[in-house]
Amino acid sequence: MNFGVIVFPGSNCDHDCGHVLGDVLGQKVIEVWHKETSLTGLDAVILPGGFSYGDYLRTGAIARFSPVMGAVKQFADAGGLVLGICNGFQILLEAGLLPGAMLRNRSLSFVCQDIHVRVENAATPFTGRCEPGQVLKLPIAHADGNYYTDEVTRSQLQANAQIVFRYCTPAGKVTPEANPNGSLDNIAGIRNAAGNVLGMMPHPERSAEEVLGNDDGRLIFLSMLDELKKAKLQLKMVGAG
């Protein structure tokens, strides 16, 4: 499958994403510079972590206007899989491809540590390999992960199963103590209403190889692969492949 990894000025997790998808999972990885306006030929798009535009003004605020984002929006509107990790999630929020906004971490610190998330929705293209309620250990590294939205949107997210990951204890309990940044309702990752766009603050690309001590994150990429292979197979069966 062809995975596009968007590179903004200041992105710094693009190589890790490329390494996991290319070297670990054997997929074709195309680095897409933020000035590109075409995503033709890509099966999925990743917006990686980092500090696009130095987080100037607001994190993701300037990157969302990069030329490539028009194509990302079209790709998403057409149902293509889009995964935003950390700064990628922030850019998707600023671009309006996901609802809500990020605030500074409640502690005001840049938090860099392993946390646990509970899979709240295992029926998404990004969590198909997970069990409902499964606990994943993933690293976070961010200063602006305090997810916020108004109560109306929050209850819609809840009702539509759009909350995909919540911060939890290692045992899977969603508690205030397990919340590393003050995010509303311990939200660590959400999907859009159509279900093809996911944003998550933790870094699955930093936890996708056993040799690094943690490969829970690989499940997210494997789930995406499953989904893409299933879609290609369906196209073949319909005679369009």
Partner 1 sequence: MKAKIHVTLKKGILDPQGKAIEHALETLGFKSVSNVRMGKYLELDVNEQDRGKAEAQVKAMCDKLLANTIIEEYRYELS
Q: Rounded to the nearest whole angstrom, what is the least distance from the CB of residue 77 to partner 1 in the complex?
A: 20
Told to judge if 31 belongs to the known catalytic residues of this protein, a careful annotator would answer no
**172 binding partner 1? (CB under 8 A):** no
**148 binding partner 1? (CB under 8 A):** yes
Told to judge if 205 belongs to the known catalytic residues of this protein, a careful annotator would answer yes
Triad 88, 156, 160: Cα angle to 5°: 80
Give the CA radius of gyration of the chain.
17
Told to judge if 36 belongs to the known catalytic residues of this protein, a careful annotator would answer no
**DSSP designation for 103:** E
**107 binding partner 1? (CB under 8 A):** yes
Identity of the amino acid at 53: Y
Residue selected from 15, 19, 73, 106 as contacting partner 1 according to rule CB under 8 A: 106
- Give CA–CA dist 27/19, Å, rounded: 10
Residue selected from 54, 65, 133, 212 as contacting partner 1 according to rule CB under 8 A: 65
Q: Rounded to the nearest whole angstrom, what is the least distance from the CB of residue 67 to partner 1 in the complex?
A: 15
Marked catalytic residue, from 13, 86, 130, 168: 86
Is 35 strand, coil or helix?
coil
The 10 Å Cβ neighbour count of residue 228 is 19
Give the contact letters, 8-37, x = binds to partner 1 (CB under 8 A), - = no: ------------------------------
Do 33 and 7 meet the contact criterion of CB atoms below 8 Å apart?
Answer: yes
Residue selected from 35, 38, 57, 133 as contacting partner 1 according to rule CB under 8 A: 57
- C-alpha dihedral (82, 88, 92, 98), degrees to nearest 10: 70
**DSSP designation for 87:** H
**182 binding partner 1? (CB under 8 A):** yes
- β-pairing, 44-47 vs 81-85, is parallel
**171 binding partner 1? (CB under 8 A):** no
Task: Output 121 or 146, the one with its CB closest to partner 1.
Answer: 146
Do 206 and 217 meet the contact criterion of CB atoms below 8 Å apart?
Answer: yes
- Give CA–CA dist 9/222, Å, rounded: 28
**Residues contributing to the site for partner 1 (CB under 8 A):** 57-58, 61-62, 65, 94, 100-101, 103-108, 146, 148-150, 182
User: Which residues are catalytic, by number?
Assistant: 86, 203, 205
